[in-house]
């Protein structure tokens, strides 16, 4: 397993305090270029709406910025929240990306709105959709990308591209759907690890081979905050911890500078929440990060880790991904 382990990058294009959207997207491009040089497989961005601290709401547009400045790394959505969109629109958007960056485009799909209800309504989303709508939309999108003539319509660009699809999830629903359709399954263990073990077990048990995939393929979100010392890594990770706390207390905003002793300063309830959220996380020096990755791989048997790590300082952020790549190479040796 170690020899074929892949590391990829999940970037929410966080907007740091004192910066704007353009600076955040340029930081993302610099990280993608850095990751490409280090041998990361993919650079994924995610669809979130109505949040001033996240710059990737127009995910396909953001990915075009990344694709234009890179050469070989896969670019993709981790993910597109399909209930917000007509499948035809996504087929055209990602078909355009595939035309611009052939063979490099991935399309991860989720069923959460990626927003609150008021924002979802502004997106013209049907808030009364039934549970079967997401699977139907996935199948329709797959048919559009294949150019299935039975649809009676064509996605141009898009038809005939057969862009690989990935099902994202943090519950058993996504695991069951990915297994039934024979698609790769990406679990959001970097922020919602509660159902990780059961979901992966169901996915592997029920997987049915498809034209895209002959055997189960598991991607897991995993946070890495790596630095020369455990203390520095803990300090750097406090920006993301502040974001988690702010989100869960209904006060999201831009990414804040790191704070010394942040975790210890929180009340017990908030510390407990972070302990739950950060199960899929390694914070520390290279040795400590390697131990964390080894434990997580032993737990999950993941084929690929999608590494997340929102760090306020860009140089420290890139260094963390450098250390993570070194850990990957040590594990694969």
- According to the model, what pLDDT value does residue 2 have? 39
| DSSP summary character for residue 258 | P
Q: pLDDT tens across 31-42, in order?
A: 999 999 999 999
CATH code linked to domain 2-332: 3.20.20.30
Predicted TM-score (pTM) of this structure: 0.95
- According to the model, what pLDDT value does residue 115 have? 64
Mean pLDDT of the chain: 94
Beta strands 74-81 and 105-110 are: parallel
Query: 114-132: b or e for each residue (b if 16 or more CB lie within 10 Å)?
Result: bbeeebbeebebeeeeeee
pLDDT over 90 percentage in the chain: 87
Q: Does the pLDDT value for residue 318 go beyond 60?
A: yes
pLDDT over 70 percentage in the chain: 96
Q: pLDDT tens across 189-205, in order?
A: 999 999 999 999 999 99
């Amino acid at each position: 397993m170690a020899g074929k382990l892949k590391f990829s990058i999940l970037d929410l294009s966080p907007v740091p305090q004192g910066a704007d959207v353009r600076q955040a997207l340029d930081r993302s491009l610099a990280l993608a270029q850095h990751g490409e040089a280090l041998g990361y497989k993919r650079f994924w961005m995610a669809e979130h709406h109505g949040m001033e601290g996240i710059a990737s709401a127009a995910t396909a547009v953001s990915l075009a910025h990344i694709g234009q400045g890179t050469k070989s790394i896969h670019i993709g959505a981790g993910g597109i929240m399909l209930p917000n969109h007509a499948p035809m629109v996504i087929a055209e958007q990602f078909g355009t990306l595939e035309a611009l960056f052939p063979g490099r485009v991935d399309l991860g799909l989720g069923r959460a709105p990626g927003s609150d209800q008021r924002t979802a309504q502004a997106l013209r989303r049907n808030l009364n959709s039934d549970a079967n709508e997401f699977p139907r939309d996935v199948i329709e999108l797959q048919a559009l990308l294949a150019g299935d003539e039975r649809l009676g319509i064509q996605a141009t660009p898009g038809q005939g591209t057969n862009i690989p699809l990935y099902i994202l999830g943090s519950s058993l629903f996504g695991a069951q759907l990915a297994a039934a359709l024979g698609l790769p399954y990406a679990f959001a263990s970097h922020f919602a690890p509660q159902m990780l073990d059961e979901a992966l077990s169901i996915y592997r048990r029920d997987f049915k081979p498809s034209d895209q995939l002959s055997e189960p393929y598991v991607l897991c979100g995993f946070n890495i905050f790596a630095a020369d010392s455990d203390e520095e890594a803990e300090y750097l990770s406090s920006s993301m911890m502040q974001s988690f706390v702010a989100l869960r207390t209904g006060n999201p905003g831009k990414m804040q500078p790191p704070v010394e002793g942040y975790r210890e300063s929180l009340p017990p309830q908030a510390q407990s929440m972070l302990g739950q959220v950060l199960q899929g996380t390694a914070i520390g020096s290279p040795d400590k990060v390697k131990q964390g990755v080894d434990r997580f791989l032993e737990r999950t048997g993941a084929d690929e880790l999608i590494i997340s790590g929102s760090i306020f300082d860009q140089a420290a952020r890139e260094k963390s991904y450098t250390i993570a790549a070194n850990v990957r190479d040590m594990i694969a040796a």
